[in-house]
Structure 1
Amino acid sequence: MFTRIILAASLAASAFVAPASAGLLDKLIQHKSFPDCHDAKVLNDIVKRFNNAQDYHTQPDIFIADITRIHERQVNEPHDDLREVNRRYCRGHAQMSDGTHPTLFFLIESGAGFAGNGFNVEYCMSKYDRWNEFDGSCRVLNY
């Protein structure tokens, strides 16, 4: 009787493990952690980081009021290698507090958050990239 219980328990447990080993769960988690260009978390992260970087850019009284005209430029997804990072290249216009609206380039990377979970956002506006972190005219993010 005890053997039957152990066998039934192991079969029940294998039903939950099989989809994960087939990679189905990984794809679901990967997809959920890879937001699109219009995602509020992405845009809020850009606004928050720029507005808190008063010492970085040369005009400390300037802040992003809104981000408009957002569109996806390119998506780089790994084909079969789970070690590669999904990258989504986006472009929009930042409406600044001084009335200007420079082009904003940004990149969303999946699996690049803390301990490989979540996502990471990098952004650039050439007028405010004082040390050319993303090369001239934000070339690194301009796909």
Structure 2
Amino acid sequence: MRRTMLRTALLSLACLTAVLPAAASSRRHVAPPDIAENRVIPMYGNLPACEDPAVLGQLSSWFNSREAKFWEPLQVVTYDRVRPVAFRPWGDDFIPRRFCTGRVALNDGSLHRVDYSVRESLGLFGYTWNVNWCVSGLDRHRSYAPDCKMARP
């Protein structure tokens, strides 16, 4: 009886110690040789800020182009409440990403939340950064459903 209780207690303790480090932090610990900076083509995480005009310009350009081609004649007018959400949230061995959110005003007078990420080495030919985005309420193919959740960390 005591032996069974001891065995059960040890098994419970082993399971608890296996789960605690993962629950304590959402980031994984990565040994220095495995970080993105030490790859054959290194990634340093030098990404523009969320409110950088180049980032918002690229987002506007892609949005305006998509809307003009497939949907309604919606155009981005301005952004506000732009703020960072996370930087490299999954750890140092993943492609560096800066996650941001803000509010976009469209030419029809509506306001929408926009979630986007600036990603390193995912631009043209892997040479520069690019922007992945989702405008809440205008994700018509539900690529980032539900309500742009998949565009956030």
- Which TM-score applies when normalising by structure 1? 0.69
1:30–1:111 contact (8 Å) kept in structure 2: no
Structure 1 residue aligned with 2:139: 129
Shift of 1:50: 0.8
Asked if residue 72 in structure 1 is aligned to residue 84 in structure 2, the reply is: yes
State the SS of the aligned residue for 2:105: strand
Shift of 1:121: 0.4
State the SS of the aligned residue for 2:108: coil
Structure 2 residue aligned with 1:55: 69
Shift of 1:141: 1.4
CA distance in 1 between partners of 2:59 and 2:133 (Å): 7
1:56–1:130 contact (8 Å) kept in structure 2: no
The correspondence for 1:87, drawn from 97, 107, 112, is: 97
1:108-130: CA deviations, max 9, x gaps? 11121223221120111121111
Structure 2 residue aligned with 1:7: none
The correspondence for 1:109, drawn from 111, 116, 119, is: 119
1:106–1:123 contact (8 Å) kept in structure 2: yes
1:67-113: CA deviations, max 9, x gaps? 1110001111643x4xx300111000001111111101111111212
1:25-49: CA deviations, max 9, x gaps? x87x8344x1110111110001111
CA distance in 2 between partners of 1:131 and 1:139 (Å): 14
- Aligned-residue CA RMSD in angstroms? 2.2
Which sections of structure 1, spanning at least 5 residues, go unmatched? 1-21
Equivalent pairs: percent with the same residue?
Answer: 21
Which residue identity does 1:73 align to in structure 2? Answer: V
